[in-house]
Structure 1
Amino acid sequence: MVEIPETGRQALDADVMREWAARGIDTLTRHRRGVDELNVFPVADSDTATNMLATLQAAFQGATPGLGLEALLDEAAGRALLSARGNSGVILAQMLRGLADAWNGDEIDAKGFAGGLRTATDAATAAVAVPTAGTILTVAEAAASAAAKAAPFGFVSAARAAAEAAAEAVAATPGQLPALARAGVVDAGGLALTLLLEALVETLTGSVSTGALDLLERHRVRAVSEVEEVPRESGSEAFGYEVQYLLESNAPAAAELRHRLTDLGDSVVIIGSRAAADVTTFNVHVHVNDIGAAIEAGIERGRVHRISVTRFDDTAPPRPARADRPATPRTVLVATAAARVREFLDRDGATTTGPDRVREALAAVRAAGGRSTVVLADGPDAARAAREGAQGARGDGYRVTVIPTGSVVQSLAALAVHDPERHFDDDVAAMAEAAAACRTGELRAEAEGVAVVVGEADFGVFDTAREAVRDLADRLCAGGAELLTVLPGAGSDTETVTALSDHVREAWPLVEVQQLPAGDDEPLLLIGAE
């Protein structure tokens, strides 16, 4: 290992933090593929470094300029929470939350650095329902302990000790986790964390530590054909889906959810937006077979949104329907308060209901001989009513899953990918992913003019609806949209819709626009971007 000089910057402030983050992003970008190839636990899905990189980019790229260290980290932790991907990304986001909670000044010394690593490690470990030895958590523990011992000798010494201890802990992971030993690799998440700690040492001293890279090269020399195919550990072989979503709730409800999800699957990680008692946003991650049950467990405890469902074995052929039951059509029930949309869908042959009639609608569907139903609920009231109705409809093998979509255009996106020939869980996964991928934008009438809203973010107020709709279209199309689905509100006018269509045709010629019947009184205009 290269000898690292003790000289260097002996404190961490906002500028050093930004430089460390940028160097860490660059390091993971360069070595992402190699680290991903090592990924076999908790599932062999080859995305550990990719998820950690995406989380780190979301946290720091585009950060508000001029913030001090405390504000910078608080913003980064909040952004990471909302964007964290996969098991490793969620754990990294919680570590950032721990650093933000511990580093409360504009400059951190060696003791503060060590304390921050300890808080970050403890926070990440507490977020995992069943911590496992030989993973990123083990590596973080070793780094935090080493930093505390070296802190009296200065910041550089503490950072170097953390990086070296992390590399040693990574090298030891095959002896702690059988999946790693069988595959002849080290833990991918722990190695990625070590790369980030070594990026800090380089930021402080200008010298490159190569412990992590040595490990990476050592474990990449085996040809792919020589590596044994590794089954998933800790029961994961039995679970085919990764489910993630954001939950608006409180800490006691999140604790209840952790227990419920542990009963349903494994790899349960739940992180919160801040350490205080007023936590309102959680990022929930679990591996399960029953997608609907995992989602509904969240609905029972708060507002669920940004649902993501990933099937681990994407290359496997679709699972056939069970041979012991007749092939009957699966019903997709759209629960929405938008009466005009219901009328349009009913004419198109879909099954719809208002939020206050979900129980009756489910009973009617079941009485007609169906064996399963997916309910698309476009708001908190509809989701609550759908969940209550689903509980009453289940029994004797009848399956009901509720997908909360957030808006009626997201329900329409989910409905568009429904395939009754798919296995029930695969169909639920496809619809949940389609709903999550559909971004929404609105025009809202306000006293000062017309407001532009994308997702939950406000982007200013315009004097006229035509100005506002052009701005909204640009924001949605810039994100890679191929189709805009437009629902004019009852208070909208044809000139606004025409202005939208004309602008998209001229500025975004590859984007298609489809208009559906008028929606509710508010918003003035609702757009879904797919």
Structure 2
Amino acid sequence: MDGTALLRWGRTCLDGLENRREEINALNVFPIPDADTGTNLLATMRAAMDAADAKASPTVSAHEVAAAMAHGATIGARGNSGIILSQVLRGIAEAVRTEPLSAVTLRDALNRASVLVRDALSVPIEGTILTVLDCAAASAEACPDASLADVALAAADGAAKALGDTPSQLGVLRDAGVVDAGARGLVVLLDSLVSVTLGEIPARPEYAPSEPVTVRAAEPTDTETDSAAPQYEVMYLLADTDLEQMARLRARLTELGDSVVVVGDGAGSWSAHVHCADAGAAVEAGIAAGKLSGIRIESFATTLHDMTSGHLVTHTNMDSAKETNGPADRGILAVAAGDGAAALFEDAGAVVLGGDGAVTAAALLAAIRAMPNREVLVLPNGALPAHDLVAVGVAARDAHRDVLLLPSASMVQGLAALAVHDRGRIAVDDAFAMSEAAATTRWGSLRAARERALTMVGTCEAGDGLGLVGHDVVVIDHDVRAAGLTLLDRMLAFGGELVTLLMGAAAPDGLADDLAAHIGESFPGVEVTVYSGGQHGDLVQIGVE
């Protein structure tokens, strides 16, 4: 199988996971019975294929496709099962570095995936996707002289047999009368491979229970209190880190909770997952380990004290909320600084929280609660640090409202996210698309230094022009305009099709024209959009898409 054939397999996986999503969700009783494994696997595979489809060409190699799928799945992983899926795809990518997917490299891929998945987990549990992946790899090894189609069928059949045995290996599955949900998803992927290589889909039994399953609550141990029981699922992405720091992160998350998975795509991107009682501590552990992004917090059914009033608030997992027919009752809350920026967000349909002063966690929480919608998507736009956003998100969710805080670190990223908002989608898909738009928008800012200071690129003097990419100073120039032009060169060196310039209240006259003209001369074909933001602090916010 070359790159084109792997793309066809990926699309077949998407169809299979879409068709089996409800079945897999119904099987989901471990590690948390929140009925979202099928949804998480599908969302992760979509992220993988979005990345892979961007590489599509008549000559694309198997490695290019598989590496893109592994990267897309790592940064777009949803839930414990999604992170494990990313490692299955990484196993394929590493096996086909120099040749297509064949009988030999498929065996290597499954063996590599099995090792990667076990290495990623703090406490491997048998009777789950781990065991079934091991059996798939062993079954593939038992066909040393077979064709790719034969090896794929052997792996799929071995996985299906192991899936049927999972209730005998894990008590919670046996008590509920179901097989493991994540492992059922793995069988879908392997059956899809059989479909592409052999031309037919293996017949499998119907695994979904005939009636809703009942999960018996576990008795607390002597060392476990209610406050220490896992209440949140925490996930985030990491960059600018290494294996040693990831090992320390895995150990720290294991101290905080369970279902710990820390994985990489083999190319510098990492994803972490934990179920824990202290979401803030889990995020802080990530901050200490690398550059954090894409933070997602889901609250299991539990009760916490409101962070400001002390009233009791009941929280629910947002993925379990019922879907409504037609457009969702969904609102967007955006934090904006400056009258012009506020008007842009309002014109795009968002409710705006802003002003010249700093936005506090209490103000953001109050604004979310003032929203009349059942579903609220929040664009914080860099107004608060991660730990404050975690606290606000936890306190804002209740039995009547689902809240998602999207990873927009600047107003230009928030505008990019809002541009793809679609109320016709379910909340998780809408939030995913908006988060993806924000994450793929490179952003920077031009400022005038207020005082002499030491930066990562040298010492600046009061009045110097500072060019930042993200939160890091990368340009210092005595001339503010020159700093802005150099900053554009740095940001567009990696490519771009659209540049958004959000001009601040103190931007010098003619600066917008100078920046736009420089883009037109130095980067022909790049579209430029200039808005009057009116924000204080940043002379210009720059977004590159």
User: Smaller-chain TM-score range?
Assistant: 0.5 to 0.7
Evaluate the alpha carbon distance shift between residue 495 and residue 89 of structure 1 in structure 2; reply closer, same or farther with a 3 A threshold.
same
DSSP 3-state at the match of 1:33:
helix
Distance (whole Å) between structure 1 residues aligned to residue 489 and residue 56 of structure 2: 25
Q: Residue in 1 aligned with 2:295?
A: 307
Matches of residues 495-514 of structure 1 in structure 2 within 5 Å? none
Q: Residue in 1 aligned with 2:405?
A: 433
CA RMSD of aligned residues (A): 4.5
Are 2:90 and 1:72 aligned? no
Are 2:284 and 1:296 aligned? yes
Q: Residue in 2 aligned with 1:59?
A: 48
Residues 264 and 270 in structure 2, CA contact (< 8 A), matched pair in contact too: yes
* 1:21-48 deviations in Å (ceiling 9; x for gaps): 1111111111111111111111111111
DSSP 3-state at the match of 1:16:
helix
Residues 51 and 89 in structure 1, CA contact (< 8 A), matched pair in contact too: yes
Cα deviation for residue 517 of structure 1 reads 2.4
* 1:95-117 deviations in Å (ceiling 9; x for gaps): 11121112223323212211111
Residues 38 and 188 in structure 1, CA contact (< 8 A), matched pair in contact too: yes
* 1:302-338 deviations in Å (ceiling 9; x for gaps): 211111111122xx6x53369xx9959xxxxxxxxx9
Q: Which structure has more helix as a fraction of its residues?
A: 1
Are 2:532 and 1:517 aligned? no
Residues 160 and 198 in structure 1, CA contact (< 8 A), matched pair in contact too: yes
The counterpart of 1:188, out of the listed 147, 159, 181, is 181
Distance (whole Å) between structure 1 residues aligned to residue 218 and residue 542 of structure 2: 43
Residues 358 and 383 in structure 2, CA contact (< 8 A), matched pair in contact too: no
Cα deviation for residue 488 of structure 1 reads 2.8
Cα deviation for residue 410 of structure 1 reads 2.6
Q: Residue in 1 aligned with 2:124?
A: 131
Evaluate the alpha carbon distance shift between residue 120 and residue 185 of structure 1 in structure 2; reply closer, same or farther with a 3 A threshold.
same
Are 2:215 and 1:229 aligned? yes
The counterpart of 1:459, out of the listed 490, 496, 506, is 496
Matches of residues 397-416 of structure 1 in structure 2 within 5 Å? 409-411=381-383
Cα deviation for residue 495 of structure 1 reads 10
Q: Residue in 2 aligned with 1:140?
A: 133
Are 2:251 and 1:259 aligned? yes
The counterpart of 2:33, out of the listed 44, 65, 69, is 44
Residues 38 and 46 in structure 1, CA contact (< 8 A), matched pair in contact too: yes
Evaluate the alpha carbon distance shift between residue 33 and residue 299 of structure 1 in structure 2; reply closer, same or farther with a 3 A threshold.
same
Matches of residues 334-353 of structure 1 in structure 2 within 5 Å? 348=357
Evaluate the alpha carbon distance shift between residue 453 and residue 174 of structure 1 in structure 2; reply closer, same or farther with a 3 A threshold.
farther
Are 2:175 and 1:159 aligned? no
Evaluate the alpha carbon distance shift between residue 120 and residue 194 of structure 1 in structure 2; reply closer, same or farther with a 3 A threshold.
same
Q: Residue in 2 aligned with 1:247?
A: 238
Evaluate the alpha carbon distance shift between residue 127 and residue 57 of structure 1 in structure 2; reply closer, same or farther with a 3 A threshold.
same
| TM-score, normalised via structure 1 length | 0.65
Cα deviation for residue 420 of structure 1 reads 8.2
Q: Residue in 1 aligned with 2:523?
A: none
Distance (whole Å) between structure 2 residues aligned to residue 280 and residue 32 of structure 1: 31
Are 2:116 and 1:100 aligned? no
Residues 173 and 180 in structure 2, CA contact (< 8 A), matched pair in contact too: yes
Evaluate the alpha carbon distance shift between residue 246 and residue 487 of structure 1 in structure 2; reply closer, same or farther with a 3 A threshold.
farther
Distance (whole Å) between structure 2 residues aligned to residue 173 and residue 208 of structure 1: 22
Evaluate the alpha carbon distance shift between residue 19 and residue 527 of structure 1 in structure 2; reply closer, same or farther with a 3 A threshold.
closer
* 1:497-525 deviations in Å (ceiling 9; x for gaps): 9xx9xxxxxxxxxxxx994523324xx22
User: Could you tell which deviates more after superposition, 146-155 or 247-256?
Assistant: 146-155
Are 2:274 and 1:286 aligned? yes
Which consecutive residues of structure 2, in runs of 5 or more, have no partner in the other structure? Answer: 312-336, 342-352, 365-378, 418-437, 446-482, 517-530
Distance (whole Å) between structure 2 residues aligned to residue 34 and residue 490 of structure 1: 57
Residues 246 and 306 in structure 1, CA contact (< 8 A), matched pair in contact too: yes
Evaluate the alpha carbon distance shift between residue 282 and residue 232 of structure 1 in structure 2; reply closer, same or farther with a 3 A threshold.
farther
Evaluate the alpha carbon distance shift between residue 349 and residue 78 of structure 1 in structure 2; reply closer, same or farther with a 3 A threshold.
closer
Distance (whole Å) between structure 1 residues aligned to residue 139 and residue 177 of structure 2: 27
| TM-score, normalised via structure 2 length | 0.63
Residues 39 and 187 in structure 1, CA contact (< 8 A), matched pair in contact too: yes
Q: Residue in 1 aligned with 2:7?
A: 18
Distance (whole Å) between structure 2 residues aligned to residue 115 and residue 418 of structure 1: 40
Are 2:242 and 1:205 aligned? no
Residues 102 and 115 in structure 1, CA contact (< 8 A), matched pair in contact too: yes
* 1:392-416 deviations in Å (ceiling 9; x for gaps): xxxxxxxxxxxxxxx9823269899
DSSP 3-state at the match of 1:300:
helix
* 1:175-200 deviations in Å (ceiling 9; x for gaps): 11111111111111101110111111
Distance (whole Å) between structure 2 residues aligned to residue 167 and residue 415 of structure 1: 42
DSSP 3-state at the match of 1:268:
strand
Q: Which amino acid aligns with 1:517?
A: Q
Distance (whole Å) between structure 2 residues aligned to residue 57 and residue 528 of structure 1: 24
Distance (whole Å) between structure 2 residues aligned to residue 93 and residue 349 of structure 1: 39
Evaluate the alpha carbon distance shift between residue 131 and residue 349 of structure 1 in structure 2; reply closer, same or farther with a 3 A threshold.
closer
Distance (whole Å) between structure 1 residues aligned to residue 220 and residue 91 of structure 2: 27
* 1:371-401 deviations in Å (ceiling 9; x for gaps): x999xxxxxxxxxxxxxxxxxxxxxxxxxxx
Q: Residue in 2 aligned with 1:27?
A: 16
Residues 452 and 458 in structure 1, CA contact (< 8 A), matched pair in contact too: no
Distance (whole Å) between structure 2 residues aligned to residue 135 and residue 488 of structure 1: 54
Q: Which amino acid aligns with 2:186?
A: L
Evaluate the alpha carbon distance shift between residue 161 and residue 459 of structure 1 in structure 2; reply closer, same or farther with a 3 A threshold.
same
Residues 414 and 432 in structure 1, CA contact (< 8 A), matched pair in contact too: no
* 1:285-312 deviations in Å (ceiling 9; x for gaps): 1111111111111111221111111112
Residues 359 and 384 in structure 2, CA contact (< 8 A), matched pair in contact too: no
Which consecutive residues of structure 1, in runs of 5 or more, have no partner in the other structure? Answer: 1-11, 329-337, 353-371, 375-406, 462-467, 473-485, 501-512
The counterpart of 2:166, out of the listed 152, 169, 173, is 173
* 1:458-494 deviations in Å (ceiling 9; x for gaps): 5247xxxxxx43xx8xxxxxxxxxxxxx673754769
Residues 359 and 383 in structure 2, CA contact (< 8 A), matched pair in contact too: no
Q: Which amino acid aligns with 1:290?
A: D
